[in-house]
Amino acid sequence: MTLKPDDAAASLNEIAAVEQRTRQTLSYARSSAAFILWGVVVAIGYGFGHFFPRQAHAAWLALFAVGFAGCAILVMRRPRHAGIARLDLRLLYAQLVLYAYGWSFVALLSPTPRQLGVFWPNVFMLGIVIAGLWLGRFFMLCGLSVTALSVLGFFWAGDWFDLWMAVANGGGLIACGLALRRMGEHG
Amino acid sequence: MSGPNEIIHQSMRLKIMAALNVLAPSAALEFTRLRTLVGATDGNLGAHLETLAEAGYVAIEKRFVDRKPQTRIKATAVGRRAFAEHVAYLREIIDRDGQ
């Protein structure tokens, strides 16, 4: 059997399409738990901040630590059959890099608590939108939706800003995580 | 130039190997997820997996999870090598055509 160049090109295109689809499905399934974890973390953080604003800063530090520790546990506990472990570690490192850069901007610009409340989600949503360029468009949709809701809340939520963010940011991430889980299971 | 791998070249088997080849060496895909990824029916996928397993290109593991049967498939080292050689062959054809 000999193949013509057109047949070979068609086969290579077919391979590339399946590889892309497989990577996307695996990345959706792998990241769903992290989305849900961060959704719960930020929903608690903003909810706490609304009722106990003076303790909010300390609570956020503790919650960030819980979030990163939870992500590390998710990466370590992931079954080997689930996919490419090295990529998971890179995603964890990417979160740490965003966090470090976020802190440098906070130190330089000294934003108000309300600005901070929308700054941090947008820093992480930026990471998710950029990751979506490689991992799948649904990440971009999640990141842009949560960003848009956060900005809306910043301008129009008034005194309910923290509760708005608990629902829009925390709830948004949880909803995205559940959708990613479903898409990861069903391809 | 070596010839094509006639087992892998069939369209559905090519897709199956492409999907499994993306995974880490020890990783496996569930039957249902693989079925969705390659766009096959149960019977069609089962038949092609049997052909690939007979050639030693995939390993099929059947087990029970929460009392439900689960079939998991992974590419063997032989299968990954055969797939890589087939892809190299396809690229060679295109490169020769371009010269």
Residue numbers in A near B71 (CB within 8 A)? none
- Which structural domain, as residue segments, surrounds residue B33? 6-98
Contact call for A8 and B94, based on CB within 8 A: yes
Looking at per-residue pLDDT, the higher value among B2 and B4 belongs to: B4
| Partner residue opposite B90 with nearest CB, options A12, A19, A85 | A12
Q: What integer pLDDT is reported at residue B56 of this predicted model?
A: 96
Residue numbers in A near B91 (CB within 8 A)? 8, 12
Q: Is B88 within 8 Å of chain A by CB?
A: no
Say how far apart CA B64 and CA A67 lie, in whole Å. Answer: 33
Total structural domains in chain B?
1
Mean pLDDT, chain A, whole residue set: 88
Phi, psi of A6, rounded to the nearest 5 degrees: -65, -40
Residue B86 lies in a domain: yes
| Partner residue opposite B6 with nearest CB, options A1, A14, A85 | A1
Residue B72 lies in a domain: yes
Residue B35 lies in a domain: yes
Yes or no: say if A144 and A125 are a contact pair by the CB < 8 Å rule: yes
Contact call for B37 and A187, based on CB within 8 A: yes
Residue numbers in A near B37 (CB within 8 A)? 18, 21-22, 25, 187
Residue A2 lies in a domain: no
Q: Which region among A161-165, B36-40, B67-71 has the lowest average model confidence (pLDDT)?
A: B67-71
Give B39's contacts (C-beta < 8 A, 6+ positions apart): B15
Cα separation values, B2 from A13, A101, A184, B82, Å: 21, 52, 38, 12
Percent share of chain A, pLDDT over 70: 92
Mean pLDDT, chain B, whole residue set: 91
What is the CATH classification number for the domain harbouring B15?
1.10.10.10
Residue B48 lies in a domain: yes
Contact call for B94 and A2, based on CB within 8 A: no
Render pLDDT for B58-87 as a digit per residue (tens, 0 to 9).
999 998 888 888 899 999 999 999 999 999
Looking at per-residue pLDDT, the higher value among A95 and B40 belongs to: B40
Q: What integer pLDDT is reported at residue B8 of this predicted model?
A: 94
- pLDDT of A64 higher than 70: yes
- pLDDT of A1 higher than 70: no
| Partner residue opposite A18 with nearest CB, options B28, B33, B37 | B37
Distance from CA of A94 to the nearest CA of B (A): 21
Total structural domains in chain A?
1
Q: Which region among B4-13, B21-30, B73-82 has the lowest average model confidence (pLDDT)?
A: B21-30
Residue A120 lies in a domain: yes
Give A36's contacts (C-beta < 8 A, 6+ positions apart): A173, A174, A177, A178, A181
pLDDT band of residue A131 (cuts 50, 70, 90) is confident
Residue numbers in B near A185 (CB within 8 A)? 33
- Which structural domain, as residue segments, surrounds residue A181? 22-186
Render pLDDT for A17-46 as a digit per residue (tens, 0 to 9).
999 999 888 888 888 998 999 999 999 999
Secondary structure class of B30 (helix, strand, coil): strand
**This prediction's pTM:** 0.76
- pLDDT of B49 higher than 60: yes
Render pLDDT for A68-125 as a digit per residue (tens, 0 to 9).
899 888 877 765 545 545 556 777 788 789 989 999 999 999 999 899 999 999 999 9
Taking residue B76's Cβ as centre, other Cβ atoms within 10 Å add up to 17
Looking at per-residue pLDDT, the higher value among A133 and A90 belongs to: A133
Q: Which of A178, A105, A94, A99 is nearest to A131 (CA)?
A: A94
Residue A161 lies in a domain: yes
What phi-psi label fits residue B72: left (phi over 0), alpha (psi between -120 and 50 degrees) or beta? Answer: beta
Residue from B16, B21, B36, B93 whose CB has the most chain A CBs within 10 Å, to mutate = B93
Residue numbers in B near A22 (CB within 8 A)? 18-19, 22-23, 37
